[in-house]
Amino acid sequence: MKKLFNRIAWLALILYLALLFDLVFFRYRIHFTSISESRPFSEYLKYSSNFKPFDTICHYLSNIGNINIHIIITNILGNIAAFIPYGLLLPVVLKFDKIRLMLLHSFSLSLLIEVIQMIFRVGSFDVDDMLLNSLGGFLGFMLLQFIKESYKQYHS
């Protein structure tokens, strides 16, 4: 039974990652241009990147009413929600229970995604996305810990 559960967890993690990469890199992208056809990298960095922590988050929160609320919700809550499954599944698959490991894995995956976006100029590089994604991984991890504790109490 444990082996089956582990296989299901692996499959769920792989499907989750495939969906995540599809959402970030392919879905909702109407037109891809080759890198040589896109604007110069220096312009991309200037206009489509944020390297200051909390800059985008503060911009959204201080401009509620001026920015479409759907954009704010999608960008802030969407980045958190996108990594909750990662926080639930990765510790099960890799069999760890340390919050530091979860934060490291969440931040690393998010950094990978942001760097790929920057290299291929798909979307924008935003350090705030990494912070929000890490928060999502943390929340998923905490939810997993709650589920484990509840299961132990229920079955003891």
Parse the chain into domains and list their residue ranges: 2-154
* Residue 131 and residue 53 in contact, taking contact as beta carbons nearer than 8 Å: yes
More confident residue, 38 or 121: 121
* Residue 13 and residue 90 in contact, taking contact as beta carbons nearer than 8 Å: yes
pLDDT at residue 37 is higher than 80: no
Q: Which two tokens stand for residue 101?
A: 């490991």
Q: What confidence score (pLDDT) does residue 40 get?
A: 85
In this structure, what are the phi and psi dihedrals at residue 64, rounded to the nearest 5 degrees?
-60, 130
- What contacts 140, CB < 8 A, 6 or more positions away? 83, 84, 85, 86, 87, 88, 89, 102
- Strands 49-50 and 125-126 turn out to be parallel
Confidence of residue 29 (pLDDT cuts 50, 70, 90): low
% pLDDT > 70, the chain: 93
